Amino acid sequence: MRIGVLAIQGDFAAHGRVLERLGVRWCEVRYPEQLEELSGLIIPGGESTTMLKFLFDEGFIEPLKQYARRGALLGTCAGAILLAREVTNPPQPSLNLVDIAVKRNAYGRQVDSFIDTTMSPALGPPPLEMVFIRAPIITGVGSGVEVLAEHRGHPVLVQQGSHVIATFHPELTSDTRVHELFLALADRRSE
């Protein structure tokens, strides 16, 4: 099983540290051809506008769509925005790989960023700690999307097939359950 973290910019190293804690080898992904060898790809937090521009300019869009048909994906915060079907505030193109609509910077600016906990029925106890930084809100989910955790009435952790989306940053906490879920999906895909 080979795991990659998209390393255009953002907190890719924080994801790497979680993977290392779980004993998983990983690589930084900066070229589309690297996707061919992966069974799991993480799109980290960062600035979605910056990453989107890079993905278009460097010919990543089609290879990513092809990759998504066979490999596992974990998108956190900016990653959630890139993988969504529809993006608002302001509208921007997205990969349409997970059937969700998201609103960018939906809690406000940085002074409105926060940390909170929620119980995820899917993950079980203890409660999940969630770091929201200029986070998006999921405003709509398609019928094939399973909601794994909610916060203030909005889905914050969802899954569609082998693709997992978190609007918060599991990579900035010591709770590794979201990554473990993703790794289990990637493992199944690598068989």
Partner 1 sequence: MSEDTYRVKVGLAEMLKGGVIMDVTNAEQARIAEDAGAVAVMALERVPADIRAQGGVARMASPKKIREIMDAVSIPVMAKVRIGHFVEAQVLEALGVDFIDESEVLTPADEEHHIDKHQFKVPFVCGARDLGEALRRIGEGAAMIRTKGEAGSGNIVEAVRHLRSVMGAIRRLTVLPKEELMAESKRLGAPYELVRWVAEHGKLPVPNFAAGGIATPADAALCMQLGAESVFVGSGIFKSEDPAARARAIVKATTHYNDPKIILEASEELGEAMPGLDVSKLAKEELLQTRGW
Q: Which residues are catalytic, by number?
A: 77, 169, 171
Give how many residues touch partner 1 by CB under 8 A.
35
Cα separation, 62 vs 155, in Å, equals 28
**Do you find a cis peptide bond into 126, omega within 30 degrees of 0?**
yes
Number of Cα atoms under 13 Å in the Cβ half of residue 179:
26
Among 69, 109, 125, 152, binds partner 1 (CB under 8 A): 109
C-alpha 145/C-alpha 92 separation (Å) is 22
Indicate whether 172 belongs to the interface with partner 1 (CB under 8 A): yes
Q: How far is the CB of 146 from partner 1 (least distance, A)?
A: 27
96 binds partner 1 (CB under 8 A): no
Among residues 115, 144, 146, 188, the one that binds partner 1 under rule CB under 8 A: 115
Q: Which is nearer to partner 1, 7 or 82 (CB)?
A: 7
Q: Do 129 and 114 contact (CB within 8 A), yes or no?
A: no
Separation CA 102–CA 79 (nearest Å) = 11
**150: CB partners within 8 A, 6+ apart:** 118, 156
Does the protein bind partner 1 through residue 174 (CB under 8 A)?
Answer: no
Kindly tell me which residue out of 2, 30, 177, 189 binds partner 1, with binding defined by CB under 8 A.
Answer: 30
**Binding test (CB under 8 A) with partner 1, winner from 73, 77, 84, 156:** 77
Q: Characterize the bridge pairing of strands 114-118 and 128-132.
A: antiparallel
Binding positions for partner 1, rule: CB under 8 A: 7-14, 30, 45-47, 49-50, 53-54, 57, 77-78, 89-90, 104-105, 108-111, 113-115, 131, 133-134, 169, 172
